[in-house]
Amino acid sequence: MEMRFSYADGMWRSSLLRVIGTLLFVIVLCHEVFPRQALAEGGITIAVPQISYQVALHSQSNLDKLVVRDPYSEVLRSLSAPPLVSAVQEGDGSAPRIEGLSFVKSLSSDPEKNLTELVIREEIFFSNGSELKARDVAFSLERCSDSHVASGEAANESEDALNRREKIIKQVHVVGDARLQIEGDTVGVFRLLAACPVYERSSGQVFGKELGSSNFYIGLGPFQIDIIRPEIRVGLRKVKDAWTNVSRHSVLQFVDEVEVRAMPDARRALTALRFGSVDLVFTEDSEVRNVAILDETLATGECRGHGVIYRKGLRLECGDVKWVARLRYVG
């Protein structure tokens, strides 16, 4: 049987090929021009040179876990970190600047050189009136790298695991009162910064247990949570950055467990909040709230009718979400 093709058939096939070619061109263009991201439900992306890390939250042994995955090599790494860590790529394509620690003014990292530089914010004080200096942070990092603070209870860890943790930081250089450089695995350094309480170098016992070793505490001040539901869902949303005015992806993050740390007073809770060991403080102390209002890194609000102070850039999705069975004022 002889098959004949009309001129219209040829035009149709030609148009189809042009459409397919255009789609392929657009796909290739998007892949090359737009940054590669691996956003998942409840996750954010940390961009570093040549690699995009997918971040997802998991709960294990009462510590929030940050799972960092290179989506192109499928390499898994797990580390303790704050519920929200964000990064913005510098305009010149250099290493990202990490935000999220209330005492940090800026933090830049060069993963290829395993070098991280940290600048401390001005006018951050310990409870005894001493101003926070770079040497205090260096002291705390060195203390954490040689202790169980960075990874929680390590009694059951193998000797190899302990040795690996101790090698996270090779050396810390204090460049000035507000600047220090950290040599070591970049992701490991972020882990220590997230997990370590900050101590005054000359009197490391000042805070003692008050700042703890975890990274997602709610400082209760004079409040008391009677019952915490097993299915707790606390939503934190990264919004506009407080001190660089750079808009971020507004990605809702949830954590399944919240550790609650009672503070002896609202002032101590505020100090912990400023140092990043506590993410949110319940308090009706008007003096403390007035201090928080003047702090450019903190914000005030209400949750279930109670006053709260929290770090700017994080928003508590409270509303009608019954994430605690009962919250009452006891002071």
Comparing CA positions, the residue from 109, 103, 125, 281 lying closest to residue 188 is 109
Percent helix, strand, coil in the chain, to 5, is 25, 35, 40
Indicate the average pLDDT of the chain.
54
According to the model, what pLDDT value does residue 177 have? 92
Sequence-distant (6+) residues with CB within 8 A of 234 are 254, 255, 258, 316, 317, 323
What pLDDT, in 10s, does the model give residues 23-75?
665 554 444 333 333 222 222 222 222 222 222 222 222 223 333 333 222 22
* 290 has a pLDDT exceeding 50: yes
| Confidence band, pLDDT 50/70/90 cuts, at residue 175 | very high
Q: Which helix (H) or strand (E) holds 291?
A: helix 286-294
Cβ(149)–Cβ(195) below 8 Å: yes
Q: Is 177 helix (H, G, I), strand (E, B) or coil?
A: coil
| pLDDT at residue 110, as a whole number | 77
Q: Looking at residue 173, what is its pLDDT?
A: 92
Render pLDDT for 202-213 as a digit per residue (tens, 0 to 9): 544 333 333 333
Write down the pLDDT at residue 55: 27
Judge whether residue 97 has pLDDT over 90.
no
Residue type, 311: R
- Give all strands of the β-sheet with 252-255 in edge-to-edge order: 252-255, 234-238, 314-317
Structure confidence at residue 129 (pLDDT): 62
**Which pTM was predicted?**
0.36
- Band (pLDDT 50/70/90 cuts) for residue 159 is very low
Q: Considering only 9-23, 52-66, 87-101, which range has the smallest mean pLDDT?
A: 52-66
In this structure, of 67-76, 176-185, 216-225, 306-315, the range with the lowest mean pLDDT score is: 67-76
Q: Please determine, for residue 260, whether its predicted confidence score (pLDDT) is greater than 80.
A: no
Per-residue pLDDT band for 16 (boundaries 50, 70, 90) equals: low
For residue 126, the model assigns a pLDDT of: 60
pLDDT > 60? residue 121: yes
Mean pLDDT computed over 112-140: 77
Angle between helices 286-294 and 266-274 in degrees, nearest 10: 20
Share of the chain above pLDDT 90, in %: 3
Per-residue confidence (pLDDT) for residue 181, from 0 to 100: 92
